[in-house]
Structure 1
């Protein structure tokens, strides 16, 4: 069975990088321990939202129930097999637009009716109750917000309730912007253009010169009497004193966003590989980046204009060097003020710029997760691609500063120590593996393998711990913290993907080509590859006579102490990981959202509710946790 050690000192884990955490907007934890036995142990501790912690029933300092995020959040979506979304808050739906009224009143909206609200403390999911795509948000007078998207409906939020207003036209709206709380413009499909006078929305006409008129994709009101709208094929429409007319197209590329420039009388509109500039009463267009670079949003703040779109970078006009976005996702929209900028995008990614840097924000982490480890549901960690190390804090997955930039593949922990494995590609196509150790308040290098990647850990406490990987890598960490070489000529050519063992007994490592090696109590590694086995990615068991290995095309093999036997899993997708809590309660996860469950006699496919590739599974006493691509984390309550 999976054994978890609860004696974790969370505060010490990130003490070394408080400065880096502040600049990266990662979870900040003080040097005081987060384990507790009384209320006094939690004095002076608080969460990201500033809520003072109490000593919870699980023996950990935490926010009081219901107070971690002051906003009431719509419960997560759960599949028919009861797998519930835990990250991102958007539940994998793309966020299309972010807009705000102030630093404490911001909305991000997107696919299938997703709507997230920031109150200055945390992001919360506050859904309107329909599945229509939301593409636009605008703060009207008072606390009122208007939202629009597909289906010809306009939605309002008054600070407590949603209401809808149907229009005569069943059109998709792409944008809403206003010059004041009582004056706004909505644009959309087939040239749809509506104005708002504080009481009602009225359709406006303009001569497109074609039928149907081109879609209008974005609008910028200069004032209550002047506005610009842009759209398909470089369409530009100007509104003055209630009249609308088309001007010469500066480009044939779709213009998808528009914003004022830093100087009076200037504006920018962007499309794929194109920047259109309005200055001296004229629109001109120029190539920007490459012809295929997605330019999805533009915003000017504090005299600086930024453009979002391509994964990993945010362009700054006037600068030859893009700003790292802090996410691997394409960004669709940007908004903010002089001190804080927000951008949102693919798979529900949310990034914020403060202190001069961009980083993913709690609830908006959308990088690929490769491994999960933890002691219980209140104390879970995950690692993944693009520098990802994160912890679940106050029911939000929050990024933490890594020991160094890199792709983290494996994770293990016990007591006051964490082990994280980093793999980076080499110039020759191989992997450079590193193991980082956190102990006594700081990260330090534990081991480096210039020619081998580290793919997995398993151990008993901190010693022994086995690390396996590419190029036949097998290392064992002893009580002194030394990583000792194991294996033999037979294991040297193996590519290991996973490792698991029985405390004080055998250990199994599995990998490419159906490789299965068993380490006996004498320390000898012997091949047990069964005939017909192909690529294996996961291994787990309950004891020496009950071990499972899973892999390519849904394959599964079971070891009874003597023989490995293939067992049908009922799925054909590749299985990437396996874990359980008993001989009749085992989960295997894999590509395209695949989850299958062993009930003691047969494997039963379950409905995950997601299509992302799943790469990790971890079992606590009360939950099963699954994670994978695009920051996906699912929870199955037990």
Structure 2
């Protein structure tokens, strides 16, 4: 299972990913853990806790309004959770609660625990004896038999996976450049550790513990404890900025580690770097005794390791239908969706999967729109206009060689196409006409009706037409503005070229009126496209600018002008760029982008 989108659950079964359920009362599902296919827990914001029994997902009261930042399910069915209480509190006043599941109910067993960040999965660990350990920047704590005890006042490696336990008498923790081991009564030093900060500690048993120190200019090491001594395994050149991104496995002879995005595997004899589709990876996740999930980087491939063999999940990575950049998407129904892109690429989804459909052109296709399964239009460079009649794509010659950027054909018998050199083509009552009322490149078109047409150009100027002629509504000169989004928001509002029409006024998308409670997030978001579902919930895709200046593909959704959800569409610092968005309803929204990436969103 996965929690890729806020409030959604996806399950891989019968060889395919399937969207399971959506919960409208959740801002996001944030964490997952389980011990079997019929015993899985999900946690989310505002105290949301759900249990999957193999057939039904049931919400269970956890007794908290804090955000669930960690879940751990033990082999006997007991579970523990950490909830971060932060809403309305200044940073220094935030606190966390410890929750316990005894098999019949959740309860808050400790009102305040020393966890204040969402990185709790790295600093929170429960053992089968009922002890819970916390490694934080204020020391090492153990909660046992109803009491909280601080075992070490030293600042621990918070934010790293530097806490591992095999049982109540075997706990390992990284403290700066030292490793300490709890033997049941005291913390003792583990000797012969290189004097570098400890990044990760993980193991399969008392005689099989792995330690990952931070890399240095002299190289990167992986350390192994066999119960009596440490062995060093050099893995190549290193740099102080190199990072470990996770370690896990299914047994002593099957361990995986992610070093700077490169996946390494231990087979019981040696560490080997993986090649091919596993050459670069970002996410490792162990689910069950013989199951490791791996997500790759540029192509976002997903692989599953069952302890013996590795297989790629369909429709991810190299299994994607196409790697051509996709430029537009149009959904007529959940079982009738079109996407178009470079080199004449046209993809169609029939409800079961995506398939490549031949087109009579190699020109890049940039826009697609339609009114029925037998009436779909696509446009592209070099004046290409294509029509789908339910059987095949055919070329329609309209006497222009200008690059065409967008098409609107949602109303039967009415088509509007815009493009370079101010090209405006219209089909009305069976007749085509061409107009060129501006020298700018028109890049987007949207219409409420044949008498209300809105158009934008690449410089951000907004045009309106009640027939065939365009008139300037708002002229703006932003040569570097990249938003192509143009869509109606309710009966009177409109999103166009990064602006929102509020009655007679136009305001920046980043304006607090639009941003609402998410203004801080919205202020760093550049929208690329927009779409409104039948419930007047507006969706945006675009790029979120991080604090380091890197961009990450994101989507946002708004209800009545207030941000109500967001999620990443790809890994941080991703080369993927979202380009277009369209859907049929709140549970069926499609986003496309570069490298053949297609996302299915839901609310």
TM-score by structure 2 length? 0.64
Taking a change above 3 Å as real, the CA distance of residues 352 and 320 of structure 1, as seen in their structure-2 partners, is: closer
Give the drift of 1:300. 1.7
3-state SS in 2 of match to 1:567: strand
Give 2:4's aligned residue: none
Structure 1 residues 358 and 199, CA gap change in structure 2 (3 angstroms): farther
Instruction: Tell me, yes or no, if structure 1 residue 559 matches structure 2 residue 559.
Output: no
Contact 2:444/2:486, CA 8 A, preserved across alignment: yes
1:588 equivalent to 2:484? Answer no
Between the aligned partners of 1:165 and 1:542, the Cα distance in structure 2 is: 56
Q: What corresponds to 2:133 in structure 1?
A: 185
Equivalent pair of 1:251/1:285 in contact (CA under 8 Å): no
**What's the CA shift string for 1:569-603, capped at 9, x where partnerless?**
99987543223388x4344277xxx672455x444
Could you tell me which of 544, 549, 554 is aligned with 2:450?
Answer: 544
Which residue pairs with 1:145 in the alignment?
80
**Partner SS for 1:447:** coil
Corresponding residue to 1:276 among 214, 219, 222: 222
Counterpart CA distance in 2 for 1:203 and 1:213 is 12
> 1:194 matched to which residue of 2?
141
Change (3 A) 1:489 1:616: closer
Q: CA deviation at 1:116?
A: 6.2
Shift of the 440–170 alpha-carbon distance from structure 1 to 2, 3 Å rule, reads: closer
Assess if the C-alpha contact under 8 Å between 1:589 and 1:616 holds in 2: no
* Offset at residue 541 of structure 1 (A): 0.9
Whether 1:497 and 2:443 are equivalent positions in the alignment is no
Query: Of 131, 134, 138, which aligns to 2:69?
Result: 134
TM-score by length of 1: 0.61
Aligned CA RMSD, in angstroms, stands at 5.1
For residues 495 and 51 of structure 2, what CA distance do their matches in structure 1 show? 36
1:447 to 352, 358, 361: 358
Deviations 1:518-552 (A, max 9, x none): 23457656353535x56x54311123332112365
Contact 2:100 2:106 survives alignment (8 Å): yes
Q: CA deviation at 1:500?
A: 0.8
- Runs of 5+ unmatched residues, structure 1: 1-19, 28-47, 50-67, 78-88, 361-384, 389-400, 424-430
- Give CA-to-partner distance per residue, 1:174-197, whole Å, 9 cap, x none: 41223324233221114x101232
2:145 alignment partner, SS class: coil
Alignment of 1:154-233 (within 5 A): 154-158=97-101, 160-161=105-106, 163=108, 165-167=110-112, 174-190=122-138, 192-205=139-152, 215=158, 217=160, 218-230=162-174, 232=176
Decide which structure has greater strand share: 2
- Cα separation, partners in 2 of 1:23 and 1:160, compared to 1, 3 Å: same
CA deviation profile, 1:257-311 (whole Å, cap 9, x unmatched)? 3221589433244767955322342163644797566433222215522335877
SS in 2 for 1:607: helix
The CA deviation at 1:434 is: 1.3
For residue 237 of structure 1, the aligned residue among 162, 180, 188 is: 180
How much does 1:146 deviate? Answer: 3.6
Cα–Cα, structure 1 residues 108 and 284, in superposed 2: closer, same or farther, change >3 Å? farther
Q: Measured at CA, do residues 330 and 266 of structure 1 come closer, stay the same or move farther in structure 2, by a change above 3 Å? A: closer
Q: Work out the CA distance in 2 between the residues paired with 1:470 and 1:508.
A: 16
Q: Give runs of aligned pairs for residues 396-545 of structure 1, distance below 5 A.
A: 403=321, 408-414=326-332, 418-423=336-341, 431-437=342-348, 445-448=356-359, 451-478=362-389, 481-491=392-402, 494=403, 496-501=404-409, 503=411, 507-511=415-419, 515-521=422-428, 526-528=434-436, 530=438, 533=440, 537-545=443-451
In the alignment, the residues of structure 1 paired with residue 351 and residue 48 of structure 2 have an alpha-carbon distance, to the nearest angstrom, of 42
- Tell me the CA shift for residue 202 of structure 1: 0.7
- 1:404, 1:134 → 2: CA distance? 36
Instruction: Give 1:26 deviation, angstroms.
Output: 1.6
Distance 1:415 1:136 in 2: 37
Contact 1:262/1:305 (<8 A) preserved:
no
Note if 1:338 corresponds to 2:286. Answer: no
Query: Secondary structure in 2 aligned to 1:230?
Result: strand
Q: Distance in 1 between matches of 2:499 and 2:468?
A: 28
Within 2, Cα distance between the matches of 1:253 and 1:130? Answer: 40
Give the direction of change, closer, same or farther, for the CA distance of 1:353–1:634 in structure 2 (3 Å limit).
Answer: farther
Report the number of matched residues: 496
CA pair 350-75 structure 1, distance change in 2 beyond 3 A:
farther
Q: Secondary structure at the match of 1:26?
A: strand
Contact 1:256/1:269 (<8 A) preserved: yes
1:175/1:109 Cα in 2 relative to 1: closer, same or farther (>3 Å)?
farther
> Deviation of residue 467 (structure 1)?
0.9
Contact 1:411/1:420 (8 A) holds in 2? yes
